[in-house]
Amino acid sequence: MPEKPQSSRLPVDTLTIAALLLCAAAFAHLRQPQQLVELVQRLPGTIERPLLAPVTYLALLLILVAERVAPAVPRQRSLNAGALQDLAYFFLLTPAAIILVFIWLRELDELFRTHLWFLVLDVGDGLPWVLLVVLSVLIGDFLAWFHHWLRHKVPLFWKFHAVHHAQRELNAFTDARFHPLDLLVAQTVAFLPFFVLGGQLKDRVGDAALIALFLTWLPRFYHANVRGRFGPLRYVFVTPQSHRVHHSALPEHADRNFGVIFSVWDRLFRTHCDADVYPPTGVEDPRVGADQNVAPLAVVRSIWADMVYPFRRTQR
């Protein structure tokens, strides 16, 4: 039985070798382990701030109301087994993922500044701040589309990304359901071009992230159990309906709708599916995401099974 219907795959050998060499170079460059201790010490505050922010609970309340008013799957409860499991992902794995990605990106940046400086282009010097931020948002979202596409097309990357797609009860917290190495691949592809571009354009990535902070709830919204295409807005933004098609378990929807914020990239590169349907979601392989037991120990065992799943032999 196949893990998931796919339209095509990319050869993995060259990409895998390049990724492993880059990983070895970056981690060999890690010289200051005390910074890891400092990062761990700052982590509670990093997580506490969004948890205590009123906008967090307002956004969650609006999503829960939308799920009651216009559910994609009427029989699905808001606090179901899938939502509880994804909440466990958020609280158990998010801190580790933050540490892993932060260290990795910091070392990549240091690697480029110290040893690969001849590749840095210093793009954007002299451009207005507003233009730099707009370019950063657009380039960043395109790279998000690209790494999403790549994680579906490269078999090795898909095995990690399948953990996210295994959810059969999409909810507002499914956006937190990721394998840490899947996030590592995604953020490497997303930030590596900015390290090469360098200059003020790279410096404005942080500003662009702050300006786009209000959009961080967009992925939570379109992962939720909400029915909606939102008229002409769907030609610009990803919607709950279009992203549910992306999560579809049906073969006719394979490898479609990779957009993260803007839907224009899918339309531009002909990966958009405009079917007005709300299909079942999940993957076929029963070894990932199939356990719906919400007892605490069962949830931990389920998450552990998902973490080791990519390292198991592919099911025939």
Average pLDDT over residues 12-40: 53
**Residue 262's beta-bridge partner residues?**
237
pLDDT tens for residues 53-92?
677 778 888 999 999 999 999 999 888 888 999 999 988 8
Residue type, 272: H
Sequence spans of domains, the chain? 34-40+77-214+221-228+282-311
How many angstroms separate the CA atoms of 223 and 59, rounded?
A: 14
Which residues partner with 281 through β-bridges? 248
Q: What is the pLDDT of residue 251?
A: 93
Percent over 70 (pLDDT), the chain: 75
pTM of the model: 0.81
Least confident of 1-10, 77-86, 242-251: 1-10
| 277 compared with 25, residue with greater pLDDT | 277
How far lies 177's CA from each of 27, 96, 135, 252, in Å? 26, 13, 29, 24
Element (H, E) at 309: none
Mean predicted confidence (pLDDT) in 220-237: 93
Strand partners, 237: 262
**76's tokens:** 């699905």
CA distance 257 to 267: 9
Least confident range from 98-102, 146-150, 197-201: namely 197-201
Q: How far apart, in Å, do the first and last CA atoms of the chain sit? A: 6
Residue 35, phi then psi, degrees to nearest 5: -65, -30
**pLDDT for the residue numbered 211:** 43
